[in-house]
Chains A and B, each alone.
Chain A
């Protein structure tokens, strides 16, 4: 009934249909002799994550079929929750799909959907995980409880022998299950779902038992969803039931499971619930930019998006079903109206708004200074804000400087260890990589550096720095000195001077601080040969670097 048709994606217009609906036909690949269509689904549309759901969504969008109504039958099975799971994985919900017939294709799709849900909303099973079982091999009532690992003993899925939890973890550490072990490993007890006879259904979120595994001949499926997040557990169960109950003898019918909580209270799962929201038709029109639609037209548009809607005077009554957990707010409904209407059919208007633009002073001044530096014959470079710890400290012969730098906790390489505190490392690396250029090399950059600063919200502060570098057969100290004088002239600043410094970054006796009034704002000098060596620069270099912020 969902119209699964392997040929559909090959038909003309399918790509445009995807585009208009908001999914993306990303790639068509041949894998293991099968043509596979890779379709990107928006991250909040769990209902579209399997062929069944996507076909239904597109067919409803095209008006070829209508949204099914789901029936939840009274529970025949019970699942007791023990207080012991509280600290490790507190929530469980469950459902039964009775008299189901799966083909090889729908069986694979069923497994694939679970994988996808594990990955995204389940965040690699850490928040939510799913176990599906052949109900005819087990016997309720079921129990969700937690035990110390050595006391857990069963034959895990696709293993030959019965083993304890620590034994199976040793095996899993070497295969694809490894990433999931750490979700519960630090807990003194592991969660477990067992039947009345003590048969283990699953050890969530790691592995199911081999005993209850499903196959193509399974007729009754018991689905359990365990979670650290109650809401997400419900979404996952609704999504699976919504997509696969169509294969039951009475399609779209799900049998509930009664969940008995540790405190004795009970509830029926899955919810498969709908909520009715009333929206103002005029408001919906306004935000989506469709000026002319009548409430009836709006209702039709929403129906195309798997949202049942009816007109109630000025209001639109919208029924948000169990497969549309992505609808949080009126704005989500407004988007669906716009999609159904067609984004590219919405009339464009320019906002009737008069404003006067204001630039950021620091950016305006930076651009003027950049122009001046280029006029002085210097070439602009653009370097990374991130660098290694050594680049801002030992490589510049100032080991203690690393203490002032903002440190990154999870860099993938040493090039991203800190945020630069000076523009110099990037300039020197650029000079080192461009040895084939005519000499002298004259480079500059005007950009931000970051230092720690306890007075700000995040404890860090950006400063706009100006850096220039001269590299040639001679040191060119007088060139960068002249450049400083020129820039100061252009900034109309007179109360500055330079004063010799013993900064270890510079060649002895060839470094100076730049003093504005009485305050140091930067420095210039001939770089120490050991600094050049660290950055693999073979020519003498003079540099100029100062903070532009005092001039803004």
Chain B
């Protein structure tokens, strides 16, 4: 018979059930009995009533248990004293002899001859004795009555401690019966089918527990942010550029942007060069345009002094991993310049760029660059500032300020700072500027066409947004998949 039924049957004939007593009488583990009582209490319809009670009792400490097993210190010491005595210094070598000695002296079990010829010597004072402490402990363990004074002594010696035991006094409830109908955990299709749901009892639902984990796929956090940025650009009427071209040549990555060939960015320290296929053939550069680019670098023109150096085609031909998506923007602007009639244009891209830099917690050899540009007649710095405010507002960044900066292919150039309420400081969020005429005019764009542009990395705002300190936890093989799976919906405008 199950324990809960046993309890019900007992109550059918008895008025009350004391769980401690019942457990002892029937050799049942008290905790198991309590479990059965609790499950009876959980049944709908009040099978039983239970009143919680408690009693305190004495239990043996670890040292007390040790006495039970090995005898008390004083008894052991007494037994170590031979009939003809022992030198005190030898006796004191025994374990726990200090306590044992003082107790045995107090009890008058031993005596000392301080003037003995070999030095202070201990003799038995009584012929024999019993281990009183052990006897008391034994009585306590068996719950036999013990004189109060003995209990206080043992408590002082930390051989016993008091312990509270909780138990129930159980009686019949309003809905007492001796048969148990198990309540249903869940509503099933069968119950609907046969209509038994009407008569069944249902278990209470645990509303504090978590729901079952959902097994499903998910998108990567950085790419969720990319989706948001794409949407912002599309909202603002920007057309996406074809950036699926990781390998570029020096010409479109640097030269066409009026970036001189001795510029440090073109060093092996900063740029990945390609050994195979190493070069772009000269013929691939648009004839006519190529000559104009050379001219503007070497001698200037279009109102510029130029850089006055010997431009080398070999540097332009070198294949590299693009260091910025602006290489693609440049190709797009060249195409725009080649059109018969200029059409105002808004373009954007978000894609990977590569830098042969030293890696650290926030820098990798490859990252995603976000870039936007507008080409139209008579655009000014005021327009750039206006567009940047509109763009960053969509990211939830309303407070912007701008710092003059230098960039080889934009002039004027501005670094964009935003006040971060979380970090409580101004942080750099991007770079911007107006493309130099030395870059645009050789392409054939009309003189009054200005191109305003800005760029930022995708990783930095993502790391700030999600509080990720090490970029390797976001990108690459060491990505934390738990983080990927627990990452919330990206809402850039809601901080």
Contact = CB atoms under 8 A, between A and B. Distances in A.
B438 A328 contact: yes
Given A328-B306, A335-B411, A458 B219 contact: no
Interface string B299-322: 010111111110000000001010
Interface string B352-378: 101010100000111000000010101
B42 interface: no
Contacts of B230: 359, 363
A379 B217 CA distance: 5
Contacts of B485: 379
A24 interface: yes
Interface string B366-403: 10000000101011111111110110000000000111
A373 interface: yes
A370 interface: yes
B460 interface: no
Interface residues of B, number: 101
Secondary structure type dominating chain B contacts: mixed
Given A230-B308, A349-B383, A357-B234, A381 B248 contact: no
A458 B376 contact: no
Contacts of B305: 328-329
Interface in A364-405: 367, 370-371, 373-386
A135 B218 CA distance: 74
Nearest to A347: B382
Contact of B380 (A286, A367, A379): A286
A355 B217 contact: no
B461 interface: no
A278 B215 CA distance: 70
A288 B450 CA distance: 11
A4 to B, nearest CB: 23
A329 B247 contact: no
A121 to B, nearest CB: 9
Most chain A CB within 10 A, of B237, B352, B385, is at: B385
B280 A331 contact: no
B412 A229 contact: no
B405 interface: yes
A305 B380 CA distance: 20
Nearest to A375: B217
Most chain B CB within 10 A, of A330, A385, A408, is at: A408
A80 B388 CA distance: 56
Given A386-B354, A410-B268, A426 B300 contact: no
Interface stretch (A92-100, A161-169, A428-436, A506-514): A428-436
B244 A462 contact: yes
A385 B366 contact: yes
A175 interface: no
A231 B479 contact: no
Contacts of A50: none
B233 interface: yes
A344 B387 contact: no
Interface string A452-468: 10100111101010000
B436 interface: yes
B13 to A, nearest CB: 53
Contacts of B378: 286
Interface stretch (A37-45, A71-79, A184-192, A489-497): A37-45
Given A347-B382, A360-B242, A410 B272 contact: yes
Interface string A2-36: 00000000000000000111101000000000000
B272 to A, nearest CB: 5
Nearest to A409: B275
A290 B340 CA distance: 32
Interface string A316-340: 0000000000001111101100110
B227 interface: yes
Interface string B410-429: 01111000000000000000
Contact of B365 (A120, A287, A375, A416): A416
B330 to A, nearest CB: 13
B238 A437 contact: no
B222 interface: yes
Interface in A447-485: 448, 450, 452, 454, 457-460, 462, 464
Interface string B273-307: 11111101000100000000000000010111111
A2 to B, nearest CB: 21
Interface in B240-284: 240-249, 262, 264, 268, 272-278, 280, 284
Contacts of A355: 237-239, 344-346
B481 A374 contact: no
Contact of B403 (A343, A370, A371, A458): A343
Contacts of B475: 382-384
Contacts of B374: 351, 353
B488 interface: no
Contacts of B246: 385, 419, 448, 450, 460, 462
Contacts of A441: 481
A539 to B, nearest CB: 14
A379 B307 contact: no
Contact of A343 (B243, B303, B381): B381
Contacts of A43: 406
B175 interface: no
Contacts of A448: 244, 246, 352
B404 A351 contact: no
A386 B304 contact: no
B458 to A, nearest CB: 11
A350 B374 CA distance: 11
A380 B218 contact: yes
Contacts of A68: none
A180 B8 CA distance: 98
Given A231-B307, A353-B346, A450-B247, A380 B219 contact: yes
A448 B411 CA distance: 33
Contacts of B227: 367
A346 B274 contact: no
B488 to A, nearest CB: 15
Nearest to B358: A412
Contacts of B235: 357
B484 interface: yes
Contact of A430 (B223, B306, B477): B477
Given A335-B411, A358-B240, A412-B356, A406 B277 contact: yes
3 tightest A-B CB contacts, nearest first: A22-B404, A289-B382, A459-B277
17 contacts: A231-B309, A289-B380, A328-B307, A335-B411, A348-B386, A350-B387, A353-B374, A355-B346, A377-B215, A380-B218, A382-B220, A386-B365, A408-B275, A410-B268, A433-B478, A433-B479, A448-B246
Interface of A: 19-22, 24, 42-45, 120, 123, 127, 229-232, 286-289, 291, 328-332, 334-335, 338-339, 343-344, 346-351, 353-360, 362-363, 367, 370-371, 373-386, 406-412, 416, 419, 426, 429-430, 432-434, 437, 441-444, 448, 450, 452, 454, 457-460, 462, 464
Given A24-B403, A358-B239, 15 more contacts: A20-B403, A231-B309, A331-B434, A343-B404, A349-B386, A351-B387, A357-B234, A357-B236, A357-B346, A360-B244, A374-B217, A376-B217, A380-B219, A407-B274, A408-B275
